[in-house]
Amino acid sequence: MKTVMISNALEEVWEWKKRVHEEMKDFSIEERATSFRKATEDFCKKYGLKFKTLHPAEKAVLGSDLKCRK
């Protein structure tokens, strides 16, 4: 049997994904979008980034209506 070494960072990511899934498993798509948007806004504010709503043409390129900029 092979032993595979898994980094602590990867284990932390797996735990984070599990927690996020548990928190959001019963959310509607709209509730998830609202939650992610709020988290993005909070992140931008915390690190002094400007929160910008993109033009529809930019959305098509980036696949999102949120973008943080310095």
**What CA–CA distance (Å, rounded) separates 2 from 12?**
22
Q: Are 50 and 61 in contact (CB under 8 A)?
A: no
Residue 30 and residue 34: Cα distance in Å, rounded? 6
H helix intervals, 25-55:
29-46
More confident residue, 62 or 50: 50
Please count the residues of the chain.
70
What pLDDT, in 10s, does the model give residues 22-55? 999 999 999 999 998 899 889 989 999 986 676 6
What's this model's pTM, rounded to 2 decimal places?
A: 0.54
According to DSSP, the residues that pair with 52 across neighbouring strands are 67
Mean pLDDT of the chain: 82
Question: Is-contact 22 37, C-beta < 8 A?
Answer: no
pLDDT of amino acid 1: 78
